[in-house]
Chain A
Amino acid sequence: MDVTLCLTHACNLRCDYCYAGTKSGRRMSWETARSALDFAFARTVEQADLTKRESVCQLGFFGGEPLLEWDLLQRATAHALTECARLGIRLKRTVTTNMILLDEAKADWLRANHFHVGLSLDGTRDMHDRHRRTPTGGPSHDLCAPALRFFRGPAANGEVIVVVDPGTIGLLAGSVAWLIAGDIRRISLNPNFTADWDADALARWEEAYERIGDLYIECFRDDRPVAINIIDGKIRAHLNGGYRPCDRCGFGENEIAVSAAGYFYPCERLVGDDSNEALRIGHVTEGFYPAARHRLLAARGNAMSECASCQVRERCVNWCGCVNYAGTGMINRVPGIVCHHERLSIAAADRVGGILFAANNPAFMRGFYPE
């Protein structure tokens, strides 16, 4: 079972599209962190016994800004490594940060401890500072971007997470180009599905994805391949004949996110400021709430009859409970904007994939059709 710990609900930024809700000083205690880890590891062992598969657990640190709780993050990691060694669990590690507190020593430690680091940065100064502001309303690009230097090149242990918002959609492709020029090779575009996307913004979105596709092709032609989630994910979904079970979220079944106060949620995107009781499925002191969890598990998936006849449904994330919830208030009903985005990214990915495959591009063939 994967576990994400929201170490704190405090943050040193006030990004206006943040889905983590109102910021507060609530922080996770060591006892809560340890209990949550022990709970997740016990479920991991149980699940591996049942499925006769390897024990694997992904431990994520999230917030607020998790680097505000650096000592707790290190202590929890040490405990997780000890316990996983004892229980025979393969432990994967991730942390998502805005990089303000990420200095060389921390970056070295994260690399040495095999962390995959999610770096929240919207690319260029123009784009980033539009939404990502300090608590006093100031710009934050100069505070965040310097730490990018720790994550350059193909072997970097991180990805830059860029929020795609209608207010900055015209700057998106330039931001991706800026990141690529800085040798950032893994980029995740994270659309703000709750924003108001008008016709003009939708048209610019399509243009932006097309230009990002062009950049992607140029990188592969230059034998410096990049990974951009909206392209890679859709190409791989096609290669595998659709999203496979393991590509989908564990969402409360083999994945929990734990708030600072110890409540369990099905996904880190649903923790918010820990005030939505309808989404809680347990607590570190009580374990799962069986009725609440089963209600949620039973409702998972996609209840949209429209999707049953859709020709691209196997390559669509219509099953993503947190994205659905954000747009429709129901975990199994897809918002129209997600439908639009999925078809847009499939078209962008297929154009790129078709061109690179036809050219027998070595980097593409190596990456997607490995020997």
Chain B
Amino acid sequence: MPTMEFEGKQYEVDEEGYLIDWSVWTEGMAEVMAKQDGIELTEEHWEIIRFLRSYFEKYQIAPMIKILTKEIAKTMGKEKGNTKYLYELYPAGPAKQACRYAGLPKPTGCV
């Protein structure tokens, strides 16, 4: 299994770089992953990562996009509650890129 190095320790990731164990995640890992994609994480990015983490803790799965946009609209204002805004922050797709930074596994099945 591939690994990612963080602060001198190796962490297991899958073939696409998603962390295998979401509970070992720390904020610094998100910074490292983003840097590799050439993204500097801003407060806006963090809002989403934090929401994803807290949602996952409760539901054991990443939220569907509908939930993500609605919750973002609630906390950050209506003009940000849409997929366009999410794609501006995470060009490779909020479901994929943001989940990866947040240390969550990728959803599977008919999706």
A, B bound: no
Residues of A within 8 A of B (CB): none
